[in-house]
A and B are shown apart, each in its own frame.
Chain A
Amino acid sequence: MWSKTFIAIVGGCLLSISLMLNLNFMIPFKIDTRLFIGLLFSFPMWVALMVWCYASETFKQAFKRCTLLFIPSAMFNALFLLN
């Protein structure tokens, strides 16, 4: 269980940042509203990912789950940032 804590904290944090960046680029509101929505949803997103990690069978499975979600999300981040 303790090994999953590492991926839950670090992986959850990175993934939530990446997902929030995508959300920030996609939602059609003014910047202050987008920032507030991002702020409001980022921590629950992080915790949801933590739950997903702890529900995994092993550290390896948790790592795999986070990585598989992070790769496409990071690609979208790159796409949005380059544009």
Chain B
Amino acid sequence: MNKESIKRLTLAHGWLGLVFSGLLFIIFFAGSIALFRQEITLWSMQPHFPVTSGENIGVNKVLKTALADRDYDANEHITLILPSTDSHYYKAYVDIKDREKEPHYDELLIDPVTGKIVSEGYKFDLADFIYRLHYNLNIPSGKYVLGFVTLFFLFALISGIFIHARKLVSNFFQYRGEKHKRSQLLDMHNVVGVISLPFTIMYAISGLIFNLVIIYQVAFALTVYKGDGEALLKDAGFTVIAPEWLDKPVDHVDIDKLIAKVSDEYQVAPRMLTIYNYGDESAVIQLRSQDTSELTTTYNVAYSLVDERVIMKSDNDHPNSLTIGTGVLRKLHYGNYASIDLRFIYLLLGFGVCGLIITGNLLWLEKREKMRNFSARTLSIARYFTVLSSAGIIVSTSIAFLCERLMPVTWLDRVELLAQTFWLSLAALAIIYVLPKVRANYRQALAVSLYVSAAMLLLTLLVSLSALSQPLIDLFMVGSYAVFAVDLSLFISALLLTKVGHIIMKKSSQVAVKAQEDLIPTMNK
């Protein structure tokens, strides 16, 4: 590519990077935390409920408990998520007949030993809120907005390769720490960009497939399939299970026996069960595994509940390339195909990309600050959004953690309150960052924001240890360490945030002193 083309690509790389940096930071920051959403959900939930040990009562009894005294809609489906290392309890989702308000189903947590319902309703949303922030910003159509942001992220990656291509190998280990600030930022941006390239390309492509696949789906359905969307879905391996209601009641079906049979066949127990038309002769059960030890999905099968006839089978013996392929992409994206170490590597790379985004913005600002004719207003807006989308999100997230720990478990609207706290914190910060005193020194604002985040996390830890000390001891005694791991992560994060905040504050003071020194000779003249 010639020099002029590279110049034009550099301009597009810089501007588009700046415009989409805020949302990209949210995607990577929230996504990195969401890698541990099972552990965070356990941290939120587990200390509030007793941990029992003993023999598992089985699905038949759990189902009976879930449906007892509940006006469930048998024409709809019942979903059960079986206990695992991610969750000690059975999770049941039961559709309720003619319920007007959302959600149209009851969500239950059922103890696998006592068979008692320990919690009703969706109460612990922190991890899922952060996860949704990662893929749809918790707003309608946010999925498509973030899809297009990801498209520009992939463009930034590819254009970055073209821009940096000639120095890709020679400057791979270059970091000019002692020299000019711009060189430092540029080296940091390039080194993190090059090292994380395979990871970021995988993330960008898989993210695009998850969020914007609809574009190609519609195009293929209209052209190749002549408008027959169902035929496309069938070829793609998506089977819609919708058995016709026969109105022939069936008394009792042994689901545990079927689970044992399937577990024996595949050597992996199912993780999720969906039962359609329960209680009728037409009832169908769908069983899905979630094996975290390998990349490929093991099975997704459906049987008639009455005679165990196979309705649908997708496994390694009956593969569909698209189903398996997208399953592999999903596991690659979530990093849940190996042990927890892999997710730590993903976490580091994810935060590395957050750094890549911020250094990109700082580079853009540095360059434009030196241009005499460049609009001061544009620079001010760019600085404002850089601080809000990075520090603002970090502070709001730490406040959300504190909020999750402080809210009593009996509050029915704690899910809504958590979301409101997050958005209100962000709105408050948006106002604070616009104040003239804060705008005068954004570095200081950034440092103070990091200190505030650290304080919130330490406060969260303090609340955990003081209000939930006995449940935490009980959890430790039964060998459930996920809650402690999250608490420890919060503590380490608080230390790191304080350290980074301290470095930024020190630099901010140095810059302020230098500016004052520069100003004195000018005033003397």
A interface residues (Cβ-Cβ under 8 A, vs B): 1, 4-5, 8-9, 13, 17, 20-21, 24, 30-33, 35-36, 38-40, 42-44, 46-48, 50-51, 54-57, 77, 81
Known contacts: A32-B235, A51-B162. The answer to whether A42 contacts B216 by CB under 8 A is: yes
- 17 A-B pairs within 8 Å (CB atoms) are namely A4-B12, A9-B148, A13-B215, A21-B223, A31-B235, A33-B321, A36-B326, A39-B213, A39-B322, A39-B325, A40-B205, A42-B216, A43-B154, A51-B155, A55-B1, A55-B9, A55-B162
B1-38 residues with Cβ-Cβ distance < 8 A to A are 1, 4-6, 8-9, 11-12, 15-16
Q: Does B321 contact A38, Cβ atoms closer than 8 Å?
A: no
Q: Does A30 contact B321, Cβ atoms closer than 8 Å?
A: yes
Nearest opposing residue in chain B for A49, CB measure: B155
Q: Does A1 contact B219, Cβ atoms closer than 8 Å?
A: no
How far apart sit A73 and B16, CA to CA, in the bound complex (Å)? 29
Chain B residues near A81: list those with CB within 8 A.
223-224
Nearest opposing residue in chain A for B12, CB measure: A54
Q: Does A36 contact B8, Cβ atoms closer than 8 Å?
A: no
B210-258 residues with Cβ-Cβ distance < 8 A to A are 212-213, 215-216, 219-220, 223-224, 235-237
Complex partner residue of B4 from A13, A33, A54, A57, CB under 8 angstroms: A57
Known contacts: A1-B15, A43-B151, A44-B205. The answer to whether A51 contacts B158 by CB under 8 A is: yes
Chain B residues near A5: list those with CB within 8 A.
16
Chain A residues near B212: list those with CB within 8 A.
43
Q: Does A51 contact B9, Cβ atoms closer than 8 Å?
A: yes
Q: Quote the shortest CB–CB distance from B423 to chain A (angstroms).
A: 29
The 4 closest A-B pairs by CB, nearest first: A55-B5, A54-B12, A33-B321, A36-B325
Chain A residues near B12: list those with CB within 8 A.
1, 4, 54
How far apart sit A72 and B205, CA to CA, in the bound complex (Å)? 27
Nearest opposing residue in chain A for B325, CB measure: A36
Complex partner residue of A56 from B8, B16, B159, B224, CB under 8 angstroms: B8
How far apart sit A17 and B223, CA to CA, in the bound complex (Å)? 10
Nearest opposing residue in chain B for A38, CB measure: B216
Nearest opposing residue in chain A for B150, CB measure: A43
Whether a CB of chain A sits under 8 angstroms from the CB of B490 is: no
Chain B residues near A20: list those with CB within 8 A.
216
Q: Does A24 contact B224, Cβ atoms closer than 8 Å?
A: yes
Q: A30-B321, A55-B1 are known contacts; what are 13 more A-B pairs with Cβ within 8 Å? A: A9-B148, A13-B215, A20-B216, A21-B219, A21-B224, A24-B224, A32-B236, A35-B220, A35-B322, A36-B321, A40-B205, A43-B205, A43-B212
**How many residue pairs between the two chains, A and B, have CB atoms under 8 Å in the bound complex?**
90
Whether a CB of chain A sits under 8 angstroms from the CB of B320 is: yes
Q: Does B235 contact A51, Cβ atoms closer than 8 Å?
A: no
Chain A residues near B472: list those with CB within 8 A.
none
How far apart sit A31 and B323, CA to CA, in the bound complex (Å)? 12
Complex partner residue of A47 from B158, B209, B219, CB under 8 angstroms: B158
Chain A residues near B16: list those with CB within 8 A.
5
Whether a CB of chain A sits under 8 angstroms from the CB of B208 is: yes
Chain A residues near B1: list those with CB within 8 A.
55
Q: Quote the shortest CB–CB distance from B239 to chain A (angstroms).
A: 13
Q: Does B9 contact A46, Cβ atoms closer than 8 Å?
A: no
Chain A residues near B223: list those with CB within 8 A.
21, 77, 81
How far apart sit A36 and B205, CA to CA, in the bound complex (Å)? 13
Q: Does B11 contact A1, Cβ atoms closer than 8 Å?
A: yes
**Central interface residue in A21, A35, A77, by most chain B CB within 10 Å:** A35
Known contacts: A21-B219, A54-B159. The answer to whether A35 contacts B4 by CB under 8 A is: no
Known contacts: A32-B235, A39-B216, A57-B4. The answer to whether A47 contacts B154 by CB under 8 A is: yes
Q: Quote the shortest CB–CB distance from A3 to chain B (angstroms).
A: 12
Nearest opposing residue in chain B for A2, CB measure: B15
Q: Does B215 contact A32, Cβ atoms closer than 8 Å?
A: no
Chain B residues near A42: list those with CB within 8 A.
216
Q: Quote the shortest CB–CB distance from A60 to chain B (angstroms).
A: 14
Q: Does A43 contact B9, Cβ atoms closer than 8 Å?
A: no
Nearest opposing residue in chain B for A47, CB measure: B154
Q: Does B213 contact A46, Cβ atoms closer than 8 Å?
A: no
Chain A residues near B235: list those with CB within 8 A.
31-32, 35
How far apart sit A5 and B13, CA to CA, in the bound complex (Å)? 12
**Central interface residue in B1, B9, B220, by most chain A CB within 10 Å:** B220
Complex partner residue of A17 from B6, B151, B213, B219, CB under 8 angstroms: B219
Chain B residues near A4: list those with CB within 8 A.
12
Nearest opposing residue in chain B for A39, CB measure: B209
How far apart sit A33 and B205, CA to CA, in the bound complex (Å)? 18
Q: Does A50 contact B219, Cβ atoms closer than 8 Å?
A: no
Q: Does B224 contact A40, Cβ atoms closer than 8 Å?
A: no
Chain B residues near A43: list those with CB within 8 A.
151, 154, 205, 208-209, 212
Q: Quote the shortest CB–CB distance from A15 to chain B (angstroms).
A: 12
Chain A residues near B154: list those with CB within 8 A.
43-44, 47
Chain B residues near A33: list those with CB within 8 A.
321-322
Nearest opposing residue in chain A for B218, CB measure: A17
Nearest opposing residue in chain B for A30, CB measure: B321
Q: Does A54 contact B8, Cβ atoms closer than 8 Å?
A: yes
